[in-house]
Amino acid sequence: MTENFENEELARKTLEELNKKADEYDASQIQVLEGLEAVRLRPGMYIGSTSKEGLHHLVWEIVDNSIDEALAGFATHIEVFIEADNSITVADDGRGIPVDIQEKTGRPAVETVFTVLHAGGKFGGGGYKVSGGLHGVGSSVVNALSTTLDVTVHKDGKDYYQQYHRGLVGEDLKIIGETNLRGTTVHFVPDPEIFTETVEFDYDKLATRVRELAFLNRGLRISITDKRAGLEKNHDSFHYEGGIKSYVRYLDENKTVLFDEPIYTEGEMDDITVEVAIQYTDTYHETILSFANNINTHEGGTHEQGFRTALTRVINNYAKSQKILKENEDNLSGEDVREGLTAVISIKHPNPQFEGQTKTKLGNSEVAGIVNRLFADELQTFMIENPQVARKIVDKGMLASKARLAAKRAREVTRKKSGLEISNLPGKLADCSSNDPKQTELFIVEGDSAGGSAKSGRNREFQAILPIRGKILNVEKATMDKILANEEIRSLFTAMGTGFGADYDLSKARYHKLVIMTDADVDGAHIRTLLLTLFYRYMKPVVEAGYVYIAQPPIYGIKVGSETKAYIQPGPRQEQDLQEELARWSEGRTKPSIQRYKGLGEMDDHQLWETTMDPDKRLMARVSVEDAAEADKVFDMLMGDRVEPRREFIEENAKYSTIDA
């Protein structure tokens, strides 16, 4: 009775408190945000985040406007500058933003573009047929998130100028001179109050996207220049008359191709423009990049769906029409005909609809049929007119089909023997006790000696250890059946529990931290590269999810007597840190000595935990893939069959290497 009474009394008091709080919620608590205040209050809604990614997104919002001028047939050259003070300038030779009075606002049109959300020429008013921007909010959002932004419009023989401060008009539009130029120049300074993580722009990141835009917009010249002190050498100008055909050649420059020129399709239907370029190589993986209005559709969409369907159908129809495949034989699968394929798909749509978690998946249903029809017609004609090339494509698919069936048999045998099933984990795995993947970590450790230290030093509750012996198979040069026959790789697949390749299921991952822990020497670096190649080619979702890390064991230990007083981590400051720590411990009678750790096995279990595995003290590098095309090229260059690109890379970068005696 007492317990029931206490429960009823608690419920009554809780209800009274809720009713009181409900009464306090009135009109005075409804906030109305004026102008661009909403952007500054919730910037992530407009640019994704206020991290490094969001900072660079500002540049693309302005560049997209210049690209739209190019798509409309006016701009031919776009210039991007990282200024000496780390601000950004984007200039184009398009028509120039209108400067006449905009009827609805009573203000110059250029001012409306930079101070009013959803204002621009991209909403059916005849300004642009196709636009790269998603929401038409770019210019005003960049203005709102910048301490200052100024725009100069070269139009009608005059230079018009206006400046803004954090989205607010600083001064009225004015004429500052005469000119024979045309176009728009926008200069902005990101607001450190918004971008608290960093306001430093990454030249390589910007240059990679600028190159991509040049490929996607045939004939357009885009240049980027770094004016910051010591970085003035950073300058690139990109111009590709071949468009996406040049893009495919660029992606394949470290590979052996099956025929000389990429197969290219260009067509238009229902105001939707379609471009497709493909090439086949002697590799075992596919590279398909798709774009809609210059936006990289990482998650694919209806344009990829139409392309894949057409490719599979046309190749199978040709193979059977030429009796290469018999009528009663099974068709080649989509996976078979895409082995070794490099493809770029680019569509321009007057009203693109995006979906998916990151809004980078095209959802327009009509696009699948249009891409399917246009590409299928062109590919079918090409194969009939080029029978030798067509035969190479079909033969490549048939070899892939045989390898796929062999891999299927190997997988079934493997499951029976030692299993790719969770119920039969590899014997060398020292698993952890926790079953919560969000908390658990799998350390892939080079060598039995280091594996022993890691097993002894770890936290058994959430840290698992999987030792590997030597260098695993280079999967860049191997078929799936050979990959599955490799014990070390099989143990890793089994331990993760996710499957691999096309069957990979990230939701089954047993660990959300996959840590590569190798020696700080050449062999360790090679093993690390082999593992990263495996993850990128056959476990890519785990990389994209941010689950892969590289452990950073110390490179030096500072010892006073028999006691280690400090550890020095590898990196650009390692020599400076070493000298500082030596000076710090040189004040006593016993002079400090330096211990160089060349292998994980040189540290006991306590040291390995303290320096490399303790979550409170360790330093780990998270592996990310910000640009899939560049990552693909790097793996091909480092791990592929062609030696010449590697030799060139070594010759160009040898001056940066150091010899560790």
Rounded CA gap, 613 and 620, in Å? 9
411: left (phi over 0), alpha (psi -120 to 50) or beta: alpha
Based on the residue annotation, tell me whether 523 is a catalytic residue of this protein. yes
The single residue of 191, 441, 446, 610 carrying the catalytic annotation is: 446
Give the integer Cα–Cα distance in Å for 193 and 43: 11
CA distance 349 to 351: 5
**CB distance 276 to 345 below 8 Å:** yes
φ, ψ for residue 596, nearest 5 deg: -95, 120
Question: 37 catalytic, yes or no?
Answer: no
CB 303, CB 368: distance < 8 Å? yes
Q: At what angle do helices 628-639 and 522-538 cross, to 10 degrees?
A: 130
Q: Please tell me whether residue 543 adopts helix, strand or coil conformation.
A: helix
Token pair of 363, please? 């959802």
3-state secondary structure 146-163: EEEEEEEEEECCEEEEEE
- What letter does residue 613 receive in the DSSP assignment? I
Which two three-digit tokens encode residue 29?
């608590």
Taking residue 171's Cβ as centre, other Cβ atoms within 10 Å add up to: 11
Assign 86 to helix, strand or coil. Answer: coil
Residue 348 in tokens? 């321009």
Residues 96 and 186 sit within 8 Å (Cβ to Cβ):
no
How far is 73 from 164, CA to CA, in rounded Å?
29
Q: Strand locations in 357-462, DSSP E?
A: 361-362, 441-446
For residues 266 and 35, what is the distance between their CA atoms, to the nearest angstrom? 43
Q: Is the dihedral of CA 559, 564, 570, 572 positive or negative?
A: negative
- Catalytic residue, chosen from 83, 355, 523, 630, is 523
Query: Which residue, 390, 385, 399, is CA-closest to 318?
Result: 390
Residue with tokens 């079918």: 380
Range 246-270 burial, b when 16+ CB lie within 10 A, else e: bbbbbbbebbebeeeebbbbbbeee
SS3 state at 558 = strand
Tokens of 202: 């990454």
Distance CA 77, CA 227 (A): 19
Q: Which of 69, 236, 275, 519 is flagged as catalytic?
A: 519
Would you call 519 a catalytic residue per the annotation? yes
Residues 286, 521, 544, 602: which is the catalytic one? 521
Collapsing DSSP states into helix, strand and coil, what is residue 200? coil
Task: State residue 278 phi and psi, 5-degree precision.
Answer: -135, 155
Measure the N-to-C terminal CA separation of the chain; round to a whole number of Å. Answer: 81
Query: What CA–CA distance (Å, rounded) separates 272 from 369?
Result: 11
Closest by CA position to 144, among listed 119, 108, 173, 169: 169
Helices then strands, counting H and E runs in the chain, come out as 21, 26
Three-state secondary-structure class, residue 279: strand
Q: Is 330 a catalytic site residue?
A: no
CA distance 131 to 219: 18
Cite the active site residues: 446, 519, 521, 523
